[in-house]
Amino acid sequence: MRQKKSHQALDSTARQRIIGFDIDGVLTDEMSGGKNIWQREIEAYFPGIQLLEPDFTFTAAFGLSLEEVDRFMEERAPEVFRKVKPQPGSRELIEYLQDAGFTVHLITARFPCYEDVTREWLASHGFRPNALWFVNAKGALCRELGVELFVDDYWENCLDVRDHGIKALLMSAPHNLGCPEEQGICRVENWEEIRAHVREYYGLSGWERGQVSGTSAL
Ligand SMILES: [Mg+2]
């Protein structure tokens, strides 16, 4: 028993405490008000349009052409990025982790042209990530950065990250509800559940008392 405990201690201290989060659908609360913010905007922009099926891509979800999606994004995306609300508990947990010595990377597939509006939104809601990345190939970047746990709402990204040896958490969203159980990927519904997974993964004791073992920041 003593030997097992010592292994657990070694495992948790060996981790570097580098963690990553997607932005859209993870930091942002797209379902605020009961209807997806993008669906509301698309319905307003294309009068009469209807949601065909929940899908990550607007082309499949609404039967739009790539050109229509590009036009919509160019005209409306910055405003959506500005006004979307953060998910409850997201800033608090990230701040808590950083105070406890974690490095937090935000990794988004938004186009780099949205960097300014993204940084303004993050700052206005009190997010101060250690780094912000705009890439599609999230698994390779996570491995390069040494990310140990990553949260995304896009199933394909979770598979990619998992296949690079990183623990993935899938944030539930209408477009991923049909995705199957997969080893190395855990579904979460909110930031309270993310917090529980982080605590378990890193073996953090004393969390409830506001103290994280092995850190001096708290
Ligand atoms: Mg996302």
Q: Each residue's pLDDT tens digit in the chain (218 positions)?
A: 344 444 444 455 578 999 999 999 999 999 877 789 999 999 999 999 999 988 889 999 999 999 999 999 999 999 999 999 999 999 999 999 999 999 999 999 999 999 999 999 999 999 999 999 999 999 999 999 999 999 999 999 999 999 999 999 999 999 999 998 899 999 999 999 999 999 999 998 766 555 554 444 43
| Core vs surface per residue 39-68: b (16+ CB within 10 A) or e | bebbeeeeeeeeeeeeebebeebbebeeeb
**Ligand 1 midpoint to CA 147 (Å):** 17
Domain with CATH 3.40.50.1000 in the chain: 2-30+85-209
- At the topology level of CATH, where does 2-30+85-209 sit? Rossmann fold (3.40.50)
> Which pLDDT score, from 0 to 100, does residue 25 have?
96
140: its two tokens: 């390779």
**Ligand 1 midpoint to CA 83 (Å):** 16
> Which pLDDT score, from 0 to 100, does residue 11 have?
52
> Which pLDDT score, from 0 to 100, does residue 5 have?
43
**Ligand 1 midpoint to CA 56 (Å):** 9
Prediction pTM value: 0.88
> Which pLDDT score, from 0 to 100, does residue 216 have?
40
**Ligand 1 midpoint to CA 173 (Å):** 9
Q: Residue 207 gets which letter from DSSP?
A: G
210: its two tokens: 């506001």
Instruction: Transcribe 51-118 into DSSP letters.
Output: --S--SSHHHHHT--HHHHHHHHHHHHHHHHHHPPBPTTHHHHHHHHHHTT-EEEEEE-S-GGGHHHH
